[in-house]
Amino acid sequence: MGKFDLNRRKFLTALSMGTAHLMFNNPLYGLGSRFTSTDPLQRITLGKSGLNTTLIGFGTGVWAGDRTSFMTRQEKDKSVALLRHAYDRGVRMFDCADTYGTHGIMAEALKTMDRDKLTISSKIWTREGGIPEKERPDANIVVDRFRKEMGVDYFDLVQIHCMVDTDWTDSMKRQMEIMENLKAKGIIRAHGVSVHTLDAMKAAVADPWVDVLHARINPYGLSMDKPDPAEVVEVIHQMHATGRGIIGMKLVGNGDIKNDSEKIDHSLRFVLGLGSVDMMIVGFESAEQVDNYMERTSNALKAIA
């Protein structure tokens, strides 16, 4: 895919006028939509990882940290019901992490789901803070705990969470090798990384170990690895071109625009129109929001077709 070539002044002007979506109809290259239909729950493949799942996934990490999140703070029955509603609507990707504290809630919801039809992901926290314990055991020990907490035999995807350093592929080499071994044993089907700086994302591009990347992306530069979307998109394109799967997150800027209907629609059209983001993770907080995003995503896919 070619170089991101978008006039920055024109881009900012369009955003301020609320017409950015007009620029993002097949926004960068005029190649046409990469998606096969306007179904928000169509099946997609995450690069060459072998993972096939739905375009929209359920992110369980809304306002999360230290093993708490929106999902853990509300009544457990409500969170389980919310997960079940998304499943009943057709969502088949559920994204968890150690820092979210949602493994137990997901375990309860799984009792009424067909595990074989799901893509379940989680993330290992290796940095200071983030989880209550000071110890950071090796990935095989952590993943074994994850499996017990969720009551599953395997995870479809396990990622190293929130990498920020340029040299993370060196400092995490031992954990990466352990995760590669877990993949060989079928304990995880794919591995990857969630990044929180552009330098860390560039390091992911350079290392073929990364099967799937979690990338923060929206047209407004909110809660992203760089405030200029053009810089971030360029690296995402590079990553996708090498056959790695790309999961888009922070589409509403960590909630900053979640109450701005027009900006949500612009963001969906932008991200879906890039051609290099395979699927989107949305942090749902209600059944109504699940239903709303189904309709919005379908409309966005129609707009970029």
Share of the chain above pLDDT 70, in %: 89
Query: pLDDT tier at 14 (50, 70, 90 boundaries)?
Result: low
Least confident range of 44-53, 148-157, 259-268:
259-268
Torsion of CA 181, 182, 186, 191, to 10 degrees: -100
Model pLDDT, residue 1 = 39
Mean pLDDT for the stretch of residues 93-106: 98
Phi, psi of 33 (to 5 degrees): -65, 140
Q: Do residues 248 and 257 touch, judged by C-beta distance below 8 A? A: no
Q: What is the DSSP string of 121-178?
A: EEEE--SSSSSS-S----HHHHHHHHHHHHT-S-EEEEEEEEE--TTHHHHTHHHHHH
Torsion of CA 152, 153, 154, 155, to 10 degrees: 10
- Classify strands 43-45 and 52-54 as parallel, antiparallel or unpaired: antiparallel
Mean pLDDT for the stretch of residues 108-116: 97
Which residues make Cβ contacts (< 8 Å) with residue 158, sequence separation at least 6?
121, 122, 123, 124, 139, 143, 146, 179, 182, 188, 190, 191
pLDDT of 30 higher than 50 = no
Q: Which of 36, 15, 45 is nearest to 27 (CA)?
A: 15
* Residues pairing with 158 in the sheet: 122, 191
Q: Do residues 238 and 206 touch, judged by C-beta distance below 8 A? A: no
First and final C-alpha spacing in the chain? 18
pLDDT of 4 higher than 90 = no
Domain boundaries, the chain: 44-304
Output Rg (C-alpha) for the chain, integer angstroms. 18
Model pLDDT, residue 103 = 98
224, exposed or middle or buried, with CB in 10 Å at 0-12, 13-18, 19+? buried
Query: pLDDT tier at 12 (50, 70, 90 boundaries)?
Result: low
Six-digit token string for 164: 């920020």
Model pLDDT, residue 303 = 87
pLDDT averaged over the chain?
91
The SS3 of residue 226 is coil
Model pLDDT, residue 34 = 79
Phi, psi of 2 (to 5 degrees): -75, 180
Q: What is the DSSP letter of 182?
A: H
**Domain 44-304 grouped into CATH 3.20.20.100:** yes
What is the C-alpha separation between 220 and 230, in angstroms, rounded?
10
The SS3 of residue 304 is helix
Model pLDDT, residue 32 = 47
Query: pLDDT tier at 31 (50, 70, 90 boundaries)?
Result: very low
pLDDT digits (tens, 9 = 90+) for 233-253: 989 999 999 999 999 999 999
The widest CA-to-CA distance across the chain, in whole angstroms, is 53
pLDDT of 264 higher than 80 = yes
Q: Which of 89, 279, 293, 64 is nearest to 162 (CA)?
A: 64
Model pLDDT, residue 3 = 43
31, exposed or middle or buried, with CB in 10 Å at 0-12, 13-18, 19+? exposed
Q: Do residues 164 and 197 touch, judged by C-beta distance below 8 A? A: yes
pLDDT of 100 higher than 60 = yes
pLDDT digits (tens, 9 = 90+) for 182-222: 999 999 999 999 999 999 999 999 999 999 999 999 988 89
Place of tokens 């109809």: 25
